[in-house]
Amino acid sequence: MDSVNPMNVLKLLEEDYKQLSQLDGQPSEADKQLKELVKGFMDVKINRAGSSSLAFEEDLQYELQTDMQTFDEFEKLVAASNQLAEPDENPSQEDKVVEPLSSGTEPSSNEFYVPRIPNPKQPPSNAVTLDYKKRSVDFWRNVATKKRRSLSCVQTKFKKVTSIRQLQEWERHVAEGGSRYNKLKALRLETGKQFFLAKQKPHIVKDMDIRRWAVTANRTIGLVGFTASPDWVGKLKRYHGIVDRKITKFVTDKYIQEAPQVKKTAEECVALVRSRISDYGLDGMWNTDQSGFDYEMRPRRTLHLAGAKHILAICQSENSMTHSYTVIMTISPGTRKFLPQLWITLQEDKSVFGSIVARTMFKADNLYVTASASGKMTKKLYLEWCEKILFSHVQDRCILLADSWRTYSDQEAVLEFKPEELEYEMITIPPKVTGDIQPLDRLFFRMYKDFFRKISSFIILHSLPLQVHHRDVILKMHSLVYQQFQSPRYGDLVNQAWHLCGYTDESFDYVNPTEFSFLKKLTGHSDHENCDDRLLLKCGWCKAPLCFHHFYDQYHLCKIYLL
């Protein structure tokens, strides 16, 4: 089957309906429900056609809240948030035991079965349980006298009875152990329960596992002809909000067992930081963290032709893709967002720069460059950072928020370098929660690396005469990028990072530096006369469009801020 492009389908539908109907403001509830039904039908067709429009990833997860303790709580939340009919109310044609009657509202068996949309103005009727049916039928049959009671007599006691035909149908349901709808609902509940229990572990779940659970449950429920078809599984997933998601982390049982205690320590840390902010304000709060940068920073994804099995990408040096250096950044939610210098530790065999290198390598006022044999921080370098970077650029009070790196714990050595007039305190972020409550990890480093990576990729893509893994190129790029991030335009980015960690109450609409500088529609010419080179970025300070030459070669260390 040819692949299906949903956008082409929507365009064709627009052509068919635009002469009949016009947009009339906000969509109604009926519009939204019809949209969901049409989308579900299109998704099935797209999947069967093998279209690349829908990506399937590695594990089934649900998008609703996952912190409920019991399946009953989860099921109530699903039902409350679901606008569509339950998946078992309208089984797919493959799962129908008998052919539906052909009428003006319901197609025959050789047609695709589309569920009717519930009327949003009318509340759904209460479902009739099997026990209610049994009591109604027993009262109607009147076993004591063996003479069936009249319809009006039955309706006096059982208000949901509407006709003799209905009672006859209920009699059959009782004999079979329940109606088809009751059995499908029981299958949905049992299968959903098995999924919920599996994700609490959390186990990896696939469509086949859902089918196995449903078929196994049906051995007890006894719905004749039920096969747990792909259509039924698809409806079940849509009803529960189950989607395919990439696994981001593998954990052990020990990790799951320790999760409540880890969460508690994180909450205690957040409460401590908030108390310090309440007592002393924002200006004295600082968060510092170190991060490894590959010598050659490249994206891990690229555009390519569909169907290719092996995707190759050029690099300047394979060795530089596996070796790294360390960058330490420090940010504050106060008036000053950054310390004036960015710390960089490069990898050098003897942990020092040679005399010639030290004399000739690139230098910038906003960088402090050191070396170690591994390219990583050592205790000696950490103490140097405290003396030369932290304590040299803070005044009056410093409350430092840092992770649980073992070297940070030796605060006695740190205090030897602390100025006497400075009030200093270090708050340690507990292990295993830095990704949640460390501001630099929450937003900042990811965006900084993305910005840096785009410039490196530009150099390689356009074959510019530079080695991106060379010491001087790395230092010059960091100097320029660090200056870009210090633009007042991105101040709310720092504020939002602290807010997302729970340390402040106010949320901020921040500007993403990468999205601002690397526009999707980067058109026009460089801000310099007689420059026809392709544009690289827009300056975060002066908003000038710049080519690579005028940004990098001319060292555009801008400090002129334009709104």
Per-residue model confidence as pLDDT tens digits over 12-36: 888 777 777 777 777 887 777 788 7
Distances, alpha carbon 85 to alpha carbons 120, 124, 185, 207, 240, in Å = 11, 10, 12, 21, 12
The one-letter code for the residue type at 483 is Q
What distance separates the 2 farthest-apart alpha carbons in the chain?
113
Query: Is residue 397 within 8 Å of residue 422, measured between CB atoms?
Result: yes
DSSP 551: I
pLDDT score of 531 = 87
Which one has a higher pLDDT value, 532 or 484? 484
- Which of 29-33, 57-61, 110-114, 326-330 shows the lowest per-residue confidence on average (mean pLDDT)? 110-114
pLDDT score of 84 = 42
Return d(Cα 278, Cα 333) in angstroms, integer. Answer: 13
Cβ burial of 172 (10 Å; 0-12, 13-18, 19+) is exposed
Return d(Cα 134, Cα 78) in angstroms, integer. Answer: 29
Which one has a higher pLDDT value, 53 or 440? 440
Q: Is the peptide bond before 202 cis (omega within 30 degrees of 0)?
A: yes
pLDDT score of 302 = 93
pLDDT score of 71 = 73
The percent of residues in the chain predicted with pLDDT above 70, rounded, is 85
Which one has a higher pLDDT value, 103 or 287? 287
The one-letter code for the residue type at 201 is K
Closest CA to 451 of 413, 423, 484, 426: 484
**Tokens read off for 268:** 């205690």
- Dihedral pair phi/psi, residue 179, rounded to 5°: -75, 170
**Tokens read off for 156:** 């006096």
Q: CA angle at residue 132 from 125 to 163, to 5 degrees? A: 70
Region 371-399: mean pLDDT is: 95
The one-letter code for the residue type at 233 is V
pLDDT score of 69 = 67
Whole-prediction pTM: 0.70
Which one has a higher pLDDT value, 295 or 410? 295
Rounded (to 5) percent helix, strand, coil in the chain: 45, 10, 45
Return d(Cα 542, Cα 74) in angstroms, integer. Answer: 52
Q: Is the pLDDT of residue 95 over 60?
A: no
The percent of residues in the chain predicted with pLDDT above 90, rounded, is 57
- Count of C-beta atoms within a 10 Å radius of residue 55: 7
For residue 401, give the H/E element and its range: strand 397-402
Q: Is the pLDDT of residue 368 over 60?
A: yes
Q: Is the pLDDT of residue 117 over 50?
A: no
Exposure b/e, 107-121, CB count within 10 A at least 16 = b:
eeeeeebebebbeee
Kind of pairing, strands 324-331 and 342-347? antiparallel
Region 543-563: mean pLDDT is: 95
Return d(Cα 56, Cα 363) in angstroms, integer. Answer: 48
> Quick one: CA dihedral 288, 293, 297, 299, positive or negative?
negative
Per-residue confidence at 122, pLDDT binned at 50, 70, 90?
Answer: very low
Query: Is residue 58 within 8 Å of residue 245, measured between CB atoms?
Result: yes
Task: Give the side-chain half-sphere CA count within 13 A for 45.
Answer: 13
Region 241-250: mean pLDDT is: 90
Query: Is residue 545 within 8 Å of residue 526, measured between CB atoms?
Result: yes
Contacts 24+ apart (CB under 8 A), 420-424: 421/396, 422/391, 422/394, 422/395, 422/396, 422/397, 422/398, 423/396, 423/397, 423/398, 424/391, 424/397, 424/398, 424/399, 424/400
Region 115-139: mean pLDDT is: 65
Q: Is the pLDDT of residue 116 over 70?
A: no
Q: Is the pLDDT of residue 94 over 60?
A: no
pLDDT score of 70 = 76
Q: Distance between the two ends of the chain, CA-based, in angstroms?
A: 54
Return d(Cα 179, Cα 223) in angstroms, integer. Answer: 9
Return d(Cα 485, Cα 339) in angstroms, integer. Answer: 12
* Ranges assigned E (strand) in 183-331: 242-245, 285-294, 324-331
The three-class DSSP label of residue 245 is strand
Q: Is the pLDDT of residue 104 over 60?
A: no
Return d(Cα 423, Cα 395) in angstroms, integer. Answer: 9
Task: Give the side-chain half-sphere CA count within 13 A for 237.
Answer: 24
Q: Is the pLDDT of residue 37 over 60?
A: yes
DSSP 416: T
Torsion of CA 159, 162, 164, 165, to 10 degrees: -130
Which one has a higher pLDDT value, 241 or 330? 330
Q: Is the pLDDT of residue 343 over 80?
A: yes
Which one has a higher pLDDT value, 39 or 199? 199
Q: Which residues pair with 546 in a beta bridge?
A: 537
